[in-house]
Structure 1
Amino acid sequence: MASEETRRLLRHPEAPKRATLLELLLDVVYVAALALLSMRLAEAVTWTAAAEILVLLMGIWWVWSITALLTDFYNPDEPKIQIIVGWAMLGSIVLTASIPQAFSALGWLFAGMYVAIHLVRGIVLVAVLRRHQAQARAARFLCWFTLSGTFWMAGAFLPASTRLVLWGIALVIDYVGAALRYPTPWLGRVPLAQYDKASEHLGERYQQFVILALGDIILVPLLLSGRTGLNAERMGILLLAFATLLLLWQIYVYRAGALLQAAIAEGPGRATRWAPYTHLLMVAGVVSTATGFELLVSETRNAAGLDLVAVVVGGPTLFLIGRTVFEYELFGTFAWSRLGWLVVLVGTAPAFLSLVPVAVAGFTGAVLLGVAMSDAVRSSGLRRPRRRSGES
């Protein structure tokens, strides 16, 4: 039988829903991580570079996502849980510092720390949750991260192309394992009832991360402008970046963002299981958008070119796709107007290849304004989100 000390490790249903200061401090590390990812992509916008950035982003995002789930299921005010969060923070700092050389000299450091974050967390939880039913949950996570860890470490010492493949396999194991609820021999899957224990705290954590991520759109362009000097052209680009940031924020908080906590309160299982995947698309979109504005500020071009159009248009496209899927899964409604704007955005992108770069960002901003206005029109007829039928 579990002791009272062990039971205190689990979050009480009546516990405060607000994020702790330690959780907010953890998020600060990811501001730097996203900025480094966008800066690394801006160095060379190629398919290979995009694939490498996606793998690094998915790894970093999974550390944050699992940590957010940890502090929602367990009591973040307990010292043992705080130590685990502190370990995740330290590990995230190392991951962030190794981003620029993750596919060269420091692959072992990125992979080693990623694996260590998950394995140490799992080992500690299995040890402290003795004789409690939650121990099986921690053991399932530990088994799956041990499996994916073999691919992470194997890839760390191989050439970059092979490393990309093996790390991709490792991420498939991590993400698919979570989607399948971590089926484990002799332990089975994580019961659906445990996902239903998610609280509004988890919704708040995702909202906080998206808000911080959006800041990346203006952060690096501001730093570059301060270093290279501010002129009328760069000021115009900064204002356009700021407008894009605000529009993406408005699109996010409409229903799926502002009501995410309420949705988790009504149907926590579905929201908990879909949020990591759809928010990954949105965060990837933010990184791509930030890359586009970094290129606009740092380079002088007569024509936009394929690389610039790809990141400037591709970023909002990913964001809108993730945002639309999330809304459908949470509320059972599909934003057809947003799909129409996506067709306009992607369909007209080739026409901007030979135009001045700022025209691409301006047109993308106009499309985002159209999406925000369409959402506002739709909101007048939607007082409260409908829950999807079926699985909670």
Structure 2
Amino acid sequence: MPTVPAVPGDRISRIATRVSTIELLFDLVFVFTISRVAEIVVHHPDWTGVGQAAVVLALVWWMVDAYAWLTNQTAPDTTFVRLALIAAMAGFLVLALAVPEAFGATGVLFGAAWIAVAVIHAALFIQRGGRGAAGRMLVVGPANVLVGVLLICSGFVEGPIDWVLFTLPFVAFLGSALLSARGGFDPGVSHMVERHGLLMIIAFGESIISIGVTASAHELDAALLAGIVLAVGVVAALWWCYFAGDDRRAEEAMSAADPRRRTGLALTAFYLEHLAMIFGLVLLAAGLHDLLAEPTHAVPLPAALLTGGGAGLYLLADASYRTTLRLGPAGWRALGAAAATATAWAGVAGSGLLQLALLVAVVVALLALERAGARRTVRDRSTAADTAGAVG
């Protein structure tokens, strides 16, 4: 029987097993954050706007995910920790308010809010995260504060230097990730998977909110109602990709992984690949904003690309996530990503309704093909087992 590495005594009572209600309250700010990131793309539906949105979301997601790791390593079960999380929630709200002009007028505010949430995070981790995690945080925490200093500096410059100051933090993130992967953290699997699943629900919810906000600004005629139904169908189909068993399989895969590899796997699967999935949903929401304005007309090229490309990016990242944790075949999702992106031509040459109908068809088809393949695999294994039994 394999030996299970012992969990240090100071962490047995600290590792969270379920998501707490204070974490659910904390994560509500992320809904507003995603809305603000989508605003960047809605107002600047070009490569510059998409690039700015990607950088800002990656920066914010680093700290959002850092708090998910914090509450994973130490349950927020004291008044002090809960009050500190509420203070951090206020900091995140200010951070979100500064998002649309983070590359401009509100850059200093964005950086200052980042420093506030980084300091609270580091202080809580050092105090409550256990000896190994606290040791790592003595390096990671100051690095996160340095990121905030760079962001404040970006508020005083414009042009290429602004982009340099916004991208330099990713060097610090890479160093922090490599350091963390060497040990000190041992993710509580059930909590980690559940928390990120709930954050994905928030991202899906923002897409639904975008549909509702756009629809409320126009007359509710038959064409718009059809567009709403199809848009909800797209979001629901993408939700199905994530929650039709992959969440359960992710927990099993993380539990079965070598504890020495678990932190690295979590950083790849739950920071990088979840970030890409969420950004895909942000692009989709931004595209739907213009597509639903006149769903029976040809879609402007930027909106068509955002809608199809957003769904495609989500599916490609989901395929990568499946591959990282070996959750199941990823080929159909990769093909679905290409097909979803290609629906942009239908929006430009036809209408928004046609593009949405094709998007629904693409995702439903790949799910059906995956399910048929899974059934065939089970049937083949059963046949092989029966044959082996007969021979024996």
The TM-score, its normalising length taken from structure 1, stands at: 0.84
> Which residue matches 2:3?
none
Residues 260-299 of structure 1 correspond to what in structure 2 (within 5 A)? 260-267=250-257, 268-274=262-268, 275-299=270-294
- Distance, in Å, in 2 between the alignment partners of 1:279 and 1:108 is 28
- Distance, in Å, in 2 between the alignment partners of 1:197 and 1:225 is 41
> Which residue matches 1:245?
235
Residue 308 of structure 2 contacts residue 343 of structure 2 at CA under 8 Å; is this kept in 1?
no
> Which residue matches 1:366?
361
Q: Where does structure 1 lack aligned partners over 5 or more consecutive residues?
A: 1-6, 183-189, 384-392
> Which residue matches 2:6?
none
Alignment pair present for 1:322 and 2:320: no
> Which residue matches 1:146?
145
The TM-score, its normalising length taken from structure 2, stands at: 0.84
Amino acid at match of 1:166: L
> Which residue matches 1:336?
331
Residue 286 of structure 2 contacts residue 306 of structure 2 at CA under 8 Å; is this kept in 1?
yes
Q: Deviations over 1:192-225 (max 9, x none)?
A: 3x44343310110000010121011121221232
In the TM superposition, residue 151 of structure 1 has moved relative to its aligned partner by 2.1
- Distance, in Å, in 2 between the alignment partners of 1:347 and 1:280 is 22
Q: Deviations over 1:224-255 (max 9, x none)?
A: 32243322121111101110111011111234
Q: Where does structure 2 lack aligned partners over 5 or more consecutive residues?
A: 1-8, 379-392
2:300 aligns with one of 300, 305, 316: 305
Residue 294 of structure 2 contacts residue 352 of structure 2 at CA under 8 Å; is this kept in 1?
no
> Which residue matches 2:5?
none
The structure-2 alpha-carbon separation of the partners of 1:74 and 1:191, relative to structure 1 and needing over 3 Å to count, comes to farther
> Which residue matches 2:78?
78
In the TM superposition, residue 362 of structure 1 has moved relative to its aligned partner by 2.0
Deviates more, 1:200-209 or 1:224-233: 224-233
> Which residue matches 2:13?
12
Residue 304 of structure 1 contacts residue 353 of structure 1 at CA under 8 Å; is this kept in 2?
yes
1:216 aligns with one of 206, 215, 225: 206
> Which residue matches 1:173?
171
Residue 256 of structure 1 contacts residue 323 of structure 1 at CA under 8 Å; is this kept in 2?
no
Q: Cα RMSD between the aligned structures? A: 2.6
Amino acid at match of 2:231: A
Identical columns (%): 22
In the TM superposition, residue 350 of structure 1 has moved relative to its aligned partner by 4.0
> Which residue matches 1:387?
none
- Distance, in Å, in 1 between the alignment partners of 2:358 and 2:185 is 41
Deviates more, 1:363-372 or 1:374-383: 374-383
Amino acid at match of 1:157: F
Deviates more, 1:272-281 or 1:363-372: 363-372
> Which residue matches 1:61?
61
Residue 303 of structure 1 contacts residue 354 of structure 1 at CA under 8 Å; is this kept in 2?
yes
Alignment pair present for 1:107 and 2:104: no
Q: Deviations over 1:310-363 (max 9, x none)?
A: 101111111111111111111175422222333333456446433223322222
Residue 214 of structure 2 contacts residue 293 of structure 2 at CA under 8 Å; is this kept in 1?
yes
Amino acid at match of 1:342: A
